[in-house]
Structures are given as C-alpha cells and as structure tokens.
Amino acid sequence: MNIYCMRFSISKTLILMSFTILALSTYGQKYYNLEFDAKIYDSQTLSFEGKSFSVRAYENIVYVSNPVDTTYQKMNIYIPEEYFAGKKINGYSAQSAPIFFPNKVGGYMPAKPASTKNNPTGGGDQRQNAVLFALSKGCIVASAGARGRTLKDESGIYTGKAPAGIVDLKAAIRYLRYNDKNMPGDASKIISNGTSAGGAMSTLLGATGNHADFEPFLKAIGAANTMDDIFAVSAYCPITNLDNADMAYEWQFFGVNTYRKGGPMQSISQGTLELSSEQIAVSKKLKELFPAYVNSLKLEDKKGTILTLDNNGNGTFKEWIKSYVVASAQKALDADVDLSSFVFLTVTNGKVIQIDFDAYVKYMQRQKTPPAFDALDLSGPETNLFGSATKNNQHFTQFGAAHSTTEATSADALAVKMMNPMNYIGDINSKTSKYWRIRHGTKDKDTGLAISVILATLLENKGFDVNVELPWERPHSGDYDLHELFAWIDLICK
C-alpha cells in the first residue's frame, strides 16, 4: 500500500501565479518559457514499501513554448530532497542520478503525466507505482503527458493524430536535456518506460533520437532546440511496427477461428465469437504476406543463421520464436512453476525441450479479428491514430486500403514511417539508445509475439545491448517486475 502524506511548502496559488507570469503574451499567442525554475516546487513526503522519503515536486510544467494543448503537453518532475543536501541515494548523487521517464500512454489515447499519486496505466494488472519505486531507488522521475488520437481543438480539428504523441514525448526529452545544468539528474541517462501503446512510444524514443524527420514537428510546437536521444528503453508489450503487425498476427493466429475481444476498444467481454468466412479469407491472405516481410529483414540468430520463413510460414524464424517461448517455460520451471497442465510443452528430466506451437497458439486464444490493426471498416484504435487534422480514421497499410469495406483515405506516408521504430534503428541519421529491455508475456495476444522478437533481434543484430524475455503466462500488462527493472537500470547506469 502506498500512503501519501503531502506537505505544501509553497502555496498552490503562488505556483499558479508564477506559471501565469511565465506564460508571456507574444502577438496574442501564449508563449511558455522553457527555463526550469528549481525554486518553484511542492514538498511531498512519500512512503513506499515501509520507507518514508521527501521529494520536491515540480508538477504541470508546460514543456514546449508553443503548445497545442496544455492539458497534455505538460510534465511532472520529482527530485529526492536528499539531492539538495548533497547526499547520495543508492550510490547516485545529484549529478549522476538517472532520470526515469515513464509515460501513461494507453490505446494511443491522450495521456496525462504520471504522478506520485497515480499509477502509470495502459492495460496492466497488479501494477506497482513505478514513480514511487524509481524515487526510492534514487532516480529523478520526469513524466510527460502527450496528445493522443481522439484530441480535438475548439474548431473540431484533430490535434493528436500520429505523430503528435511521439513528437510531444521527444519535446519533453528536449526540455530535460535543455535544463540539464539547472536540475539534479543526468540528462544523458534518461530511461524511458511504457506499456502497450506507451511501450511503443518508449521504443520510438529509443529508436529515433535526433532524427531530422521529427524536426519540423518539434519546431512547430516550440520544443527546446537541443538533442532528444535517450540512454535506455524499457518497453512492456509494445504495440508497435503497426504497418506489419496485421501479417504477424495472422501468421500466428491463422486457423484459430474463434476469438474473445479485448484491448482498448473492448472493455466488456462479449464471450467467444466466430470469424466469418470473409475474415478467414483475410487471415489467410495476411498470413501469406508475412514470410516476404520477415525474409526482407535478413535477421540473424546468435549463431549468424539467417532467420527465414518458407511460403507455408515455417522455417528458422519460427524456430527462433519458439525458442523464446521455450526459454520462458524453462525459467518458470526452474522457479518451481508446475507446467504439467501445459500439454503443448515437452518436458524431459527438468528440461523444456519442445513446444507444439499450433497447440500453444490455440491455448492462448485469438483476441482480434483480421486485420488486427488496420481494420477494413476503419473501426480500430490504430486507424483512428492514423487519421489526419480533418479525417478521424484512415488506413495505413496497402492491404487495408486495397481491401477496405468503407469509403476511406490513406494516412500520410511520413506519419506511418515516423510511428515505426524499425525504420530508424541503426539509421546513421538517428541516435538509437544503447540499452533496451523488452518484455512481452507468453499469454499476450494484443499483438503477435513476432513483433517484439523482430524488434529485439534487429536491435541485437545492429549491435545494441538488448535484454528481452517473454514472461511465462503473462497477459498484456506492464510494470509487474519493478525489482528486476530497477536492478537492470542500476546495472546499465553504474
């Protein structure tokens, strides 16, 4: 249980007045100063896992000078009080402390910044408050809100369609880098964390550092004129690589003709439903397109074997995916989990030696109908993400546009490119994070397992340091293993 005990050293009124003063008026437009002012804060006394500690809370800082929506384009920053007294926490000092950067993006919706009072969310269960956890480990915490797919201005123009959300988070990173000298914490040690769509945002932050594609968008909102690359990425079940995710989903789930809905659009389960014959035909077409995509990537396993699929969807790539699920089951077995009910596993002498992949996928159950992301009737969260200022929903794949069941337009190709980290990893014009931690549960069917494995494998092949696991039986969720996450953060930061 987290107990919050707040003490206000400076009245809220005073803070509000200061922000109003910061909001200067230039030619009738509000202009926000990007200088961090260490003197304006609330003191908060927090309690976490039986330990009490104080932080200086800098909340609701607008992080761009020319915002579109100040409900979302704002950031909360928390700094342990000890750093202002020259003390160390967990071996970190005011100079060396990493900056933990969690986002609350879920379903590609608009997101408020995380705070010491609210849990980062995004489709999770049993989530601990990562903000408090990070502070107790001596991290500075900075969490930015971001625009999302449903946002509109007063005139009905959509203001949060792709790539607005990632542009906002990059702008917040720039704010932190720009103010590095005025603020405790090391802005060259920013670690992003997110789940699902928020995990996708985290991977984008890590992949696209300083890339010129984002520059005009960042300029338009008045982001600080500095770098936006980050040190490390933590991503739980990233709903990413969206323009290839439909094929990956059907490669995995083709043949599973019943489904139970879930995900951000379906909070109420409607029981088990049947795919129509049209949907089964779409599933087959998408499954058949996946090998060409996988083969085009020329990924390699650790021994240098090229990972490929034949026309039936079998081959070294499939074995590679299976090896991750087998490793996950082995880890569970080693931790004394009873695996006897999982009949798709072959266990001999304490070793998981084989998995019947088709039986495993049937056991997981399908959650989405084909295409899982670029819905042919434009009804999904992703077609909504790829709308424009004036169009609420658009297709973002050739397949979606070609098979659309409704009158539809297609997303701007640059917006689609900018939402996919695969386009930037290893590009000489972007600075990709060195360290990555990716988790995708073996019972997560919000996207195909291949999506996280492809991302991790590309990163490994390009020489980045990747810690990837598929936690056993874990459904779509995040922040469930914070002790391990922060042990990893200590490892890469110290």
Q: How far is the CB of 84 from ligand DHB (least distance, A)?
A: 36
Site string for ligand DHB, 7-26 (x = CB under 6 A): --------------------
From the list 146, 239, 332, 352, which residue makes contact with ligand DHB (rule: CB under 6 A)? 239
Q: Which listed residue (150, 196, 328, 442) binds ligand DHB by CB under 6 A?
A: 196
- Only segment of 31-39, 106-114, 222-230, 269-277 that touches ligand DHB (CB under 6 A): 106-114
| Count of residues touching ligand DHB (by CB under 6 A) | 12
Site string for ligand DHB, 44-73 (x = CB under 6 A): ------------------------------
Shortest Cβ 31–ligand DHB spacing (Å):
33
Q: Does 160 bind ligand DHB (CB under 6 A)?
A: no
Q: How far is the CB of 196 from ligand DHB (least distance, A)?
A: 3
Nearest approach, Cβ of residue 236 and ligand DHB (Å) = 10
Taking CB under 6 A as the rule, does residue 123 contact ligand DHB? yes
> Is residue 411 within the footprint of ligand DHB (CB under 6 A)?
no
Select 253 or 317, whichever has its Cβ closest to ligand DHB: 253
**Does 365 interact with ligand DHB (rule: CB under 6 A)?**
no
Tell me: does residue 400 bind ligand DHB (CB under 6 A). no
Rounded Cα gap, residues 19 and 4, in angstroms: 25
Please give the single-letter amino acid code of residue 160: G
Nearer to ligand DHB, 98 or 238 (CB): 238
Exactly one of 446, 457, 468, 489 binds ligand DHB (CB under 6 A); that residue is 446
Among 67, 102, 107, 206, binds ligand DHB (CB under 6 A): 107
Q: What is the token pair recorded at 43? A: 């003191």
- Using the contact rule CB under 6 A, the part of the chain among 101-109, 149-157, 299-307, 418-426 near ligand DHB is 101-109
* Among positions 31, 66, 264, 315, the unique one binding ligand DHB when judged by CB under 6 A: 264
Three-state SS for the chain is CCEEEEECCCCHHHHHHHHHHHCEEECCEEECCCCCCCCCCEEEEEEECCEEEEEEEEEEEECCCCCCCCCCCEEEEEEEHHHHHCCCECCECCCCCCEEEECCCCCCCCECCCCCCCCCCCCCCCCCCHHHHHHHCCCEEEEECECCCCCECCCCCECCCCCHHHHHHHHHHHHHHHCHHHCCCCCCCEEEEEECHHHHHHHHHHHCECCHHHHHHHHHCCCCCCCCCCCEEEEECCCCCHHHHHHHHHHHHCCCCEEECCCCCCCCCCCEEECCHHHHHHHHHHHHHHHHHHHHHCCECCCCCECCCCCCCCCHHHHHHHHHHHHHHHHHHHCCCCCCCCCCEEEECCEEEEECHHHHHHHHCECCCCCCCCCCCCCCHHHHHCCCCCCCCCECCHHHHHCCCCCCCECCHHHHHHCCHHHCCCCCCCECCCEEEEECCCCCCCCCHHHHHHHHHHHHHCCCEEEEECCCCCCCCCCCCHHHHHHHHHHHHC
Structure tokens at 193: 């964390």
Min separation Cβ 476 and ligand DHB, Å: 6
Q: 150 or 430: whose CB is closer to ligand DHB?
A: 150
Dist CA 363 CA 445 (whole Å): 11
Kindly state whether residue 106 participates in binding ligand DHB, applying the rule CB under 6 A.
Answer: yes
Nearer of residues 107 and 209 to ligand DHB, judged by Cβ? 107
* Residue (122 or 291) nearer to ligand DHB, CB: 122
In the bound state with ligand DHB, the residue whose beta carbon lies nearer, of 21 and 268, is 268
Q: Is 197 in the site for ligand DHB (CB under 6 A)?
A: yes
Query: In the complex, which residues of this chain contact ligand DHB (CB under 6 A)?
Result: 106-108, 122-123, 196-197, 239, 263-264, 381, 446
